[in-house]
Structure 1
């Protein structure tokens, strides 16, 4: 089914040539490639004020922007987290919001383990050592890292990605602990050999802690200096969820005061900005919000976001709605 009057869609994302051509069959497409820049403020508003739909990666779709778009009917987000969108106000205005769940699970779970291994076994330090000519004959004393087998892995946020991380961690001999808003069923806990703990008990007992929960009003600054003081001195924190879940200034204090042994970050409280002190610490691994950056996942996310636009206008029902509209 093709629409007779093409809805106008602003695409703020990378698109393959084939996908762009496909969308242009049914829609009037205005495309801005985010590989060039991320639009915001007036630059973004000038491109969207008369559109019927927005396919967005990264940019903030807030109340004032939605209010300025009289024709807006759908915001299709590239990614599973949609904290960049004021979904509550969109619902009030009758604007559908969609996301791209599932398609990125494997990539993010893989990256979670990659970051854990990198910080535990000091992989970036070793890379820098070799590149700088520091690899000499007497290497026995170099880069002693943390073992995984027998240690507790705490997963904060045991959703679909958290479960996939647990499945990957089990063969390493890690003991799975988790904290979640809702406890998993007994059957799922048994299948993952996972134990639910309060957040405090998880922080106290786990050598490795991976943050995988969504960013909400409740989880913003979930980890502050108070929580770092509860953690084991030889523990490692991995954040691959959202930056503001961890108070960055307190993380730096925790590292400087040796309250924890190290951390690995894929996200930052004020990204793309981050405190330069982090880059100067050998026990910190940094990645550029690349958790879903596999070929399959990134292409699949954009494809699914486009499919949500197509289904909404052509079939009157989006595939992955995150809000309910009348």
Structure 2
């Protein structure tokens, strides 16, 4: 009997062809893993799971007694209940070191799109509203030589700082769990507390991972500290922001605008007020979504999966204590 693997929302399935013939892969896409009967049945014999954003909680683990590894096809892994996985001897892996530049391109891109009103003015042209020279009603704001505050200056945040400072002569403020000496040296980034960053930045870019400490790190108080002329950019996770507070800040004109790639509920609901603001750029969690980068991530996810199923230590093991 072949050993069973589950692929969940795993787009580039051709990478699964690299698995040895001893494995059988069952593919699931756009299903509810809590209630889908075929998925629940497959869990009974699954030794490995590879895919994107599958909530691996206690219920799933109880339904998968043979599970050895969950290979996340992403850098983030807040969907994995790591402590419970470790108790049960289940490895967790992710795909870091692949998407930093691609995501930085996207997040800096939506920052520019918001400041220069690119999406809004695109519709202005396509709707036939462009009748002559632009008036002050269509004017945007500059990006170059402004101050960018980055909350969470890890690898992606550093890549954004590089684009901002070296490409647009921006001043960089940052708030982080620890100092980023390389960014301070290479991009003249200045470390400061969160309040100072919020008060002095023309653009506030949130790039933290989602943890207990960072959940709702941006709330009513934080938005009130920002300049009325400032733009808020979120490329981290939706739950790092109190969305109702952001909506209020936009509605009350406490900030100039926003550029968002992530949301508390994804896909975003059609009736979410954020979709009604012309000064908010919204993209569908597409930070790493280029074919080249997604292919590299998928290859690494399969590599991690195979290592864990063949008695080797996966390259990107999140919970190494599981092997002790």
Give deviations 1:35-82, integer Å, cap 9, x for gaps.
xx1432021433323210111212211111112211111010010011
Q: Secondary structure at the match of 1:8?
A: strand
Count of residues paired in the alignment: 318
SS at match of 2:225: coil
Task: Give 1:159's aligned residue.
Answer: 154
The CA distance in 2 between the partners of 1:11 and 1:161, in whole Å, is: 27
- Corresponding position of 1:39: 32
Q: 1:28 aligns with which of 8, 24, 27?
A: 24
Match of 1:82 among 58, 61, 77: 77
TM-score, scaled relative to structure 2: 0.94
Deviation at 1:298, TM superposition (A): 1.2
Distance 1:296 1:26 in 2: 29
Counterpart of 1:124 (choices 116, 119, 126) is 119
1:296 alignment partner in structure 2? 292
Once residues 170 and 317 of structure 2 are traced to their aligned partners in structure 1, the CA distance between those partners, rounded to angstroms, is 36
Structure 2 counterpart of 1:273? 268
- Shift of residue 17, structure 1, vs aligned partner: 5.3
Q: CA deviation at 1:300?
A: 1.4
Q: Do structure 1's residue 139 and structure 2's residue 149 form an aligned pair?
A: no
Q: Is the Cα contact below 8 Å between 1:210 and 1:239 reproduced in 2?
A: yes
Alignment match, 2:318: 322
**Change over 3 Å in CA distance of 1:289–1:66 after alignment to 2:** same
Question: Which of residues 242, 251, 257 is equivalent to 2:252?
Answer: 257
1:95-134 equivalences under 5 Å are 95-134=90-129
Distance 1:208 1:52 in 2: 46
Tell me the secondary structure at the aligned position of residue 153 of structure 1: strand
Between 52-61 and 19-28, report the one with greater CA deviation.
19-28
Matched-pair contact (CA < 8 Å) for 2:68–2:308: no
Q: Deviations over 1:183-216 (max 9, x none)?
A: 123x541112111111111111101011111001
TM-score, length-scaled by structure 1 = 0.93
Gaps of 5+ in 1: none
Flag the 1:45–1:192 CA change in 2: closer, same or farther, 3 A: farther
Aligned partners of 1:122 and 1:283 also within 8 Å: yes
Aligned match of 1:183 = 179
Contact 1:76 / 1:97 at 8 angstroms: preserved in 2? yes
Structure 2 residue aligned with 1:193: 188
**How far apart, CA to CA, are the structure 2 residues paired with 1:130 and 1:26?**
57
**Counterpart in the other structure of 1:64:** 59
Alignment RMSD, CA only?
Answer: 1.6
Q: 1:25 to 1:232 in 2, by over 3 A?
A: same
Per-residue CA distance 1:209-267 (angstroms, 9 max, x = gap) = 11111001111100011111111111111111100100111110000001100001111
Where in structure 2 are there 5+ consecutive unaligned residues? none
**1:75-131 Cα deviation digits (max 9, x unpaired):** 100100111111111111111000000111111100011110000000011011011
1:166 positional shift? 0.8
